[in-house]
A and B are shown apart, each in its own frame.
Chain A
Amino acid sequence: MLKMEKRDRNLLIIVTLMLVFAPFLLNPFPEGSVMAQFNAGYPDLMQRFVIFGIFAIGFNILFGLTGYLSFGHAIFLGVGSYAAIWMMKLLTMNVIPAIIMAIVISGIFALVIGWISLRRSGIYFSIITLAFALMSFALAYSVLTPITGGETGLQPKAADLRILDAPLAAGSTPRANLFGLEMSSSYKLEIGNWLFTFSAGYYIAAVMLLLSFYLSIRIFRSPFGMMLRAVKSNQQRMNYTGLNPKPYTLAAFVISGMYAGLAGGLMVAMDTQVGPERMFWTASGEVVMMTILGGAGTLIGPVLGAGLIKYMENIISKINASILHEWFYWLPDGLENLLVTVIYPFIGKGWHLTLGIIFMLVVIFLPGGLVEGSQKIGALIRRKLDRGKDKAKSSKSTKPAE
């Protein structure tokens, strides 16, 4: 089926199941309970998981396979978003042209930026992409204000041209849709104290993630993917084996830029607005962290990394002092206050501190990211089981000898 190895097919099936059942899986705690704030199963956050997952999958095709570390990939996220908004302003609120244009335009930007940046490798490549990130932000923020809306950004208005759609009544808000199905529409399911939300936008983004993930598997297992790993491993040998590394890396750069464009287009489809901060260089740094945290060069790693970072950003940042007091109310007053004081800097707005510490721990102890971590745990369990079996065997085999 789908021309894949068994292992990859299983991974794809697991990812599919997780995406389909995410509204349940991410909402394990009943409404109103103390733990309910750890629920992540609301549409806004689930959409972000999926969109940043796509962004990180694409980034991993460049960074994970070729080793070229770009600090400018949020440019393509932003370009994709602006392209999508303009499609919604000029053509239709249907998300399909918006997403297609987001991919195409960001691909063109990636071709130009990649062609220039890839004249150098290693740290110099990274610095050039960083310079592009800074310039792109400046362009979006001020220089190109007529196109980008400057500081305030852009959003579709009722009075926009929109040649394919019927005109909207003045004052009404244009809503992104897929042939009439609004992105923001959702179906709520109540089971006991649990409330599950199934959002149209989320499932459309999830389908895009699945397609992106499937394509990424194919690229990883293709001769092209092998060449990209060869670029990372030894460019000298590649050159002297009659292979030109440059078009390979450029192709990887453009493909990953198009992934970022798709993510940007989906962001606009889910929430019809864009501002220049989307392409600020810290956003580029974020996708680097997602990829490394999850496991650069692995298939599923970037998705896990994106999920973890977005989860922390949204959940840890929501914890405040009174919630901490609620957790530790059973401790003696002095100890309770001490503990709250110690933990307080790491929650709320301080979630970056927690993230930073986790990131450092992972890079130092698990250079292969979360994927390596889970593999190590898996191996440990298997060894324990094997030892158990061996013991059972040896005790059985020795018994008759006694």
Chain B
Amino acid sequence: MSILEIKNVNMRFGGLQALDDVNLNVVENTVHAIIGPNGAGKSTLLNVLVGKLIPDTGSVMFDGKSVLGRAPYEINQMGISRVFQTPEIFGDLSVLENMMIPCFAHRDGAFELNAVASVTSQKDIIAHAEHVLEEMNMAEKRHMHASALSRGDKRRLEIGMCLAQEPRLLLLDEPTAGMARADTNNTIDLLRQIKDERDITIAIIEHDMHVVFSLAERITVLAQGKPLVEDTPDNIKGHPKVREAYLGESADT
């Protein structure tokens, strides 16, 4: 069953057709990768999914409900969490506080004027946050300033913050961009573990083929705003159209 249905989505920036009649279905509890060369429209598509951009035409349904026209925080509350290309965390706050914020969002919704209760009295939130930190192997770093974390740890924290909200769909935007090999492999292991342990659908936008082929169950190849092919990793690997899109017209030589 599809959890995310993208139908006939078109998006134009001036003379550039960024998304050209995109149709895409993401099946529940799978890892679906969207790959494509630079400028293929991957990021535009992602921004449409999270409510940052509104497409010119088409529909995007998540779990039977349209996401179009909703603010990012509303879409998040529907169950879509997003991991950014460069980790977006609360740098001025401690690691534990970073983790508590999504826990509050999960418990209390988009706004709650809780101005007199003390944070330390929120036992359920603290327990929840510490539990996720332990899952992320970051429990001993809980009192660190988040901005002092290493790049790899920032990524783990950000993924953990998304998971703390118990989303149904996790969107990852090039989660290993700019990472050293060891960090990349750690991230792959982490994502694999998440996929095995939870009822979660993961959609991943990625450049790194190593990451894509180690994780994805379905792959959509996007080129010039259009989905070229959608298939299993094994079939994608040798697909002539994919090689053409990546390597240009002279791919056969």
Question: Could you say which of B82, B100, B112, B114 contacts A240, with CB atoms under 8 Å apart?
Answer: B82
Chain A, range 16-60, C-beta contacts under 8 Å to B? none
Q: Is B38 an interface residue (CB 8 A)?
A: no
| Contacting pair A240 B81 (CB below 8 A) | yes
Flag if B114 contacts A224 (CB, 8 Å). Answer: yes
A221–B115 Cα distance when bound, in Å, is 8
Residues on B lying within 8 angstroms of A by beta carbon are 50, 71-73, 76-77, 81-82, 84, 88-93, 97, 100-102, 104-106, 108-122, 125, 161, 165
Contact A230 B93 (CB under 8 A): yes
Which of B71, B90, B100, B115 has a CB less than 8 Å from the CB of A234? B90
Judged by a CB distance under 8 angstroms, whether A157 is at the interface is no
- B121 pairs with A3, CB closer than 8 A: yes
**A229–B93 touching, CB < 8 Å:** yes
Known contacts A221-B120, A241-B165, A251-B113; A232/B92 CB under 8 A: yes
B31 to chain A, nearest CB (A): 20
Cα–Cα, bound, A234→B91 (Å): 8
Chain A residues within CB distance 8 Å of chain B: 3-5, 218-219, 221-227, 229-230, 232-234, 236-244, 247-248, 251, 255
Q: Does A241 contact B115, Cβ atoms closer than 8 Å?
A: no
Extra contacts besides A247-B111, A255-B115 (16): CB < 8 Å = A219-B115, A219-B116, A221-B119, A226-B97, A226-B101, A229-B92, A230-B93, A234-B88, A240-B82, A240-B84, A241-B81, A241-B165, A243-B101, A243-B110, A244-B111, A247-B113
Verify B102–A241 contact, CB threshold 8 A.
yes
Q: Which residues of A contact B76 (CB under 8 A)?
A: 239-242
Which residues of chain B are near A234, meaning CB under 8 Å? 88-91
Chain B residue numbers with a CB within 8 Å of A225 are 115, 119
Chain A nearest CB from B115 CB (Å) reads 4
Alpha-carbon gap, A218 to B100, bound state (A):
18
Of B92, B102, B106, B111, most A-chain CB atoms within 10 Å: B111
Contact B116 A233 (CB under 8 A): no
Check A241/B119 contact, CB under 8 A, given A223-B114, A251-B113.
no
CA gap between A239 and B109 in the complex, in Å: 12
A223 to B104: give the CA distance in the assembly, Å. Answer: 8
Cα-based distance from A227 to B115 in the complex (angstroms): 10
In the bound complex, what is the Cα–Cα distance between A243 and B74 (angstroms)? Answer: 8
